[in-house]
Structure 1
Amino acid sequence: MHRIVFLDRDSLIANVRAPGFPHTWQDHAATSEDEVVERLTGATVAITNKVPLRAAALARLPDLKLVAIAATGTDNVDLGACREQGILVSNIRNYSLVSVPEHCFALLLALRRNLRAYGADVEAGAWEKSSRFCLLDHPIGDLSGSRLGIVGYGALGRKVAHIARAFGMEVCATSRSTLDDPDVTQLELDELLRTSDVISLHLPLTEQTRHLIGARELGLMKRSALLINTARGGLVDEAALAEALLQGRIGGAGFDVLSKEPPVPDNPLLRLRLRLPNFILTPHVAWASAGAMQTLADMLVENIEAWAAGQPRNLV
């Protein structure tokens, strides 16, 4: 009989049905890194959303056969150590093809139309004191006619491109493989950064993509350009971005992710959120619509059932 342990059950607000094979199941609301070994001792299946599973802990878990990641990102699991121990790792793919792109455009529209600044004006009573029917103190831009540069053209990138075209945006993208979309112009990263009005990141975090956007890359962008990140915080050098925003070297940024989550108090972007109306920070919720979370929960159990049936899927 398999023993299944969900290390951070409270990270998933959804109905998680029982797998259709003999098992025991134990939920933990949350798990710290130093509790991992104790809680997974004797487990054959570990479920984690963001709890780290490092080599030292994995080496002490000889019964573990499957790590079922309740997310797409795999940077919290030592994949090399899993391979060495014969532990399979599965993840969830394409569950948030509505939620993440919609959040991406929520950030983009709020920035382009200066919603934070106008909301603050209304709260401060500026509209009530206005000599005319409206306030026009902050610039407002349209999406139509502007260029969106998508960095990483997987399933999420393609969905973002589809929505962008509906807004009348021109779309370009970078990708390791040749694009098969005639409506999207494929560019190298530097050219995309130089020519786009909006840059949206849709990449996994790896050693190759860490700090993909740093001071040099920010310096290539238009002074009016917006940077949207609903992917992974480590893709961007946060100190460099904070400096670029403070110096007015780019037009603004909308982030749903930080390099360390929960953030440490001295994170430069966390401090910045109260100082600049052209920076919006949300707490890693782009993925978390009710529909997306239920889809994730269903796919999570399907991954475990496929593995138990000897037909593992979504392996990484």
Structure 2
Amino acid sequence: MTGTSLKPLVAILDPYHPDATAKLEANNEIDSLVVSKSNRQEIYDRAQAIMVRSDTAISPVELSKFSQLKYVVKQGVGVDNIDLEAAKQAGIEVYNTPGLNAEAVAELALSLALCLARRITEIDRSIREGKAVVRSQTLGRSLFGKTLGVIGMGNIGIVLAKKWIGAMEGTVVGYDPHYQGDSWSEILGAHRFRQVDQLNNLLQVADVVSLHVPLTDSTKGLIARDEFTQMKQDAILLNCARGGIVDEEALLEALESNKLVGAGLDAMEIEPPTREAYGSLLKHPNVIITPHIGASTREIQSLSGVFVADLVVDLVMGRRGGNRVA
């Protein structure tokens, strides 16, 4: 990993699972470096590929600092932290890893729904604060047989839908203007699933609404005041996708007016979420906020990290593959 090495350099800009970094360090075809203050210039001068997650913004200015960069590989599906147009203009290819995080994100979404319906975190906080919890006056809601609304019919959405039907024996309504096909009906069963072509048709019937779309111009503010008005009384909203899809001011209004049972939020406009930024939401007993940990399981971080490591090696060695997005 010296400055005179002729091997292609792979630079790791964000924290990756040790299994991924170990895989790169053991590979004799390439050099690898974890970015630091002391080696940043070498990375700019030599890196042919960079590995990122959501922590680092890959802006036009950042891209312009690299003289040899050919590939950007993102662990995960969302690429809103990467300027795809700037990468395209610079002749830099961008890849992501859709589907690998689906099980973990779906698990979190289901966990949040259950915690909110049964008031688990609310009750736990009361006990920790020394308050008396009267069981007959602390009733939750059952999700058994209820309807899940999935906005965004991709890899995560279908995994969550399967878990919902398996655990809750409920039904699923899906909305995605970009999805065409019958695979969801074939997998879930026509008696358990239907797709709607208008968002309001989902909002009006779903007991739990779960967001699984990327943040784009068309999805920013997708769930705002009008959408909260159309939702069922006592519905639960889950956002394990991206901050900005939900109008957070409108969400607070919906919670304070008791329109919603609660909200489980793993994605916020300001990340990581703080008490200063989200004091009002955090004070609400029916809100659970987590710091974008949907994919944060040991198993998935190892699996997806190693996948990215293998992919970047293949790319810099001229072996094509992976899911290219730009």
| Residue identity in the other structure for 1:157 | G
Q: Distance in 2 between matches of 1:251 and 1:289?
A: 28
Distance 2:163 2:75 in 1: 27
Distance 2:236 2:35 in 1: 39
CA apart distance, 1:246: 1.8
In the TM superposition, what is the alpha-carbon distance from 1:250 to its structure 2 partner? 1.9
1:303 Cα deviation after fit: 1.4
1:30 Cα deviation (Å)?
A: 9.5
Q: Which runs of 5+ in 2 are unaligned?
A: 1-6
Identify which range, 105-114 or 271-280, moves more after superposition.
Answer: 271-280
Which of 83, 92, 97 is residue 88 of structure 2 equivalent to?
83
Deviation at 1:104, TM superposition (A): 0.7
Deviation, 1:97, is 2.5
The whole-number CA distance in structure 2 between the counterparts of 1:275 and 1:215 is 21
- Structure 1 unmatched runs, 5+: none
Deviation track 1:176-234 (CA, whole Å, cap 9, x = no partner) reads 22341133111121110111111001111111111111111111112200001111112
Amino acid at match of 1:285: I
Number of the residue aligned with 1:171: 172
Say if 1:36 and 1:53, in contact at 8 Å, map to a contact too.
no
Distance 1:186 1:288, change over 3 A: same
Q: Is the CA contact 1:70–1:92 (under 8 Å) kept in the aligned structure 2? A: yes
Give the 3-state SS of the residue equivalent to 1:41 in structure 2: helix
Does 2:220 correspond to 1:210? yes
1:4 aligned to which of 10, 32, 36: 10
Aligned partner of 1:290 in structure 2 is 298
The one-letter amino acid paired with 2:194 is T
Match runs of 1:79-158 below 5 Å: 79-127=84-132, 135-158=135-158
- Once the two structures are TM-superposed, the CA of residue 260 in structure 1 deviates from its matched residue by 2.6
What's the C-alpha RMSD, in Å, of the aligned pairs?
2.3
Give secondary structure in 2 for the equivalent of 1:274.
Answer: helix
Query: 12, 24, 33: which is aligned to 1:26?
Result: 33
Residue identity opposite 2:219 in structure 1: T
**Matches of 1:135 and 1:29, distance apart in 2:** 53
User: Share of identical aligned residues, percent?
Assistant: 28
Once the two structures are superposed, the pairs formed by residues 59-78 of structure 1 within 5 Å of their partners are: 59-78=64-83
Q: Which residue of 1 is the match for residue 264 of structure 2?
A: 254
**Aligned equivalents of 2:282, 2:37: Cα separation in 1:** 29
Q: Give the SS at the match of 1:15.
A: helix
Which amino acid is the alignment partner of residue 171 of structure 1? V
Question: How far apart are the structure 2 equivalents of 1:101 and 1:147?
Answer: 16
Partners of 1:26 and 1:191 in 2: how far apart? 50
Aligned equivalent of 1:186, options 195, 215, 223 = 195
Residue 275 (structure 1) aligned to one of 267, 273, 283:
283
Contact kept, 8 Å, 1:5 with 1:40, in 2: the verdict is no
- Residue 39 of structure 1: how far off its partner (Å): 4.6
